[in-house]
A and B are shown apart, each in its own frame.
Chain A
Amino acid sequence: GNSVTQMEGPVTLSEEAFLTINCTYTATGYPSLFWYVQYPGEGLQLLLKATKADDKGSNKGFEATYRKETTSFHLEKGSVQVSDSAVYFCALSLSGAGSYQLTFGKGTKLSVIP
């Protein structure tokens, strides 16, 4: 079956520190990969996505590269801010007719302190 494994949290960083949240996946076929962010008490917001190998998704200073050879989609940001404190979910979706389920990782809580 399909699965997503992401690093356990919580992760605590000082403002302006470098962020990496690891995400690896197993899937039958060629999935699309996503990072969603959930701020406290809110729904999920799409942060970035990549639909094929070697694609790089980027948004708000975050980026992740679809690495087929290592089945990974690690999230990075060069300089985090307090406002980046949230839970980050890595997810995959298999494209094609009838495949509508997102498979999520367990989420990684990030806290950024001033």
Chain B
Amino acid sequence: DAMVIQNPRYQVTQFGKPVTLSCSQTLNHNVMYWYQQKSSQAPKLLFHYYDKDFNNEADTPDNFQSRRPNTSFCFLDIRSPGLGDAAMYLCATSGGTGGHETQYFGPGTRLLVL
């Protein structure tokens, strides 16, 4: 089945220690998104890639970076995690014949910062 895969499902890091979260997709969609979701809140868009074009949301902290080496993979790098960065991180994709209006989400990576 075509899907969005996120690894790991749970990630523990230390305050200030860089961490990378990964996302891969078999949908061959050209747009990939990263969201941050804190407890009992709606997901908040951090940035998205349209093909190789990177689009950052205006209020996304510089501490968050992203890489997309090819169509299938996208990474979220947190350069110096703080306690406030503990959250669920969701990857999503859109594109193909369904257009860009519908986004398909992965299972998420829950990040814990000690």
Contacts and interface: CB of A to CB of B under 8 A. Distances in A.
A44 B43 contact: yes
Which of the listed residues A43, A44, A89 has the most CB atoms from chain B within 10 Å of its own CB? A43
Interface in B24-80: 31, 33, 40-43, 45, 48, 50, 55
A46 B104 contact: yes
B102 A100 contact: no
A106 B41 contact: yes
A43 B106 contact: yes
B94 interface: yes
A43 B103 contact: no
Nearest to B45: A101
Interface residues of A, number: 23
A95 interface: yes
A94 B102 CA distance: 10
B82 interface: no
B14 to A, nearest CB: 23
Contacts of A51: 101
A43 B50 contact: no
Which residue among A45, A89, A102, A104 has the maximum number of chain B CB atoms within 10 Å of its CB? A102
A106 B42 contact: yes
Interface residues of B, number: 27
Nearest to A42: B107
Given A41-B110, A43-B108, A44-B90, A102 B103 contact: yes
A49 B33 contact: no
A32 interface: yes
B102 A43 contact: no
Given A41-B110, A102-B103, A89 B45 contact: no
B22 interface: no
A32 B103 CA distance: 12
Interface of B: 4, 6, 31, 33, 40-43, 45, 48, 50, 55, 88, 90, 92, 94, 99-108, 110
Interface of A: 32, 34, 36, 41-46, 49, 51, 89, 93-95, 99-102, 104-107
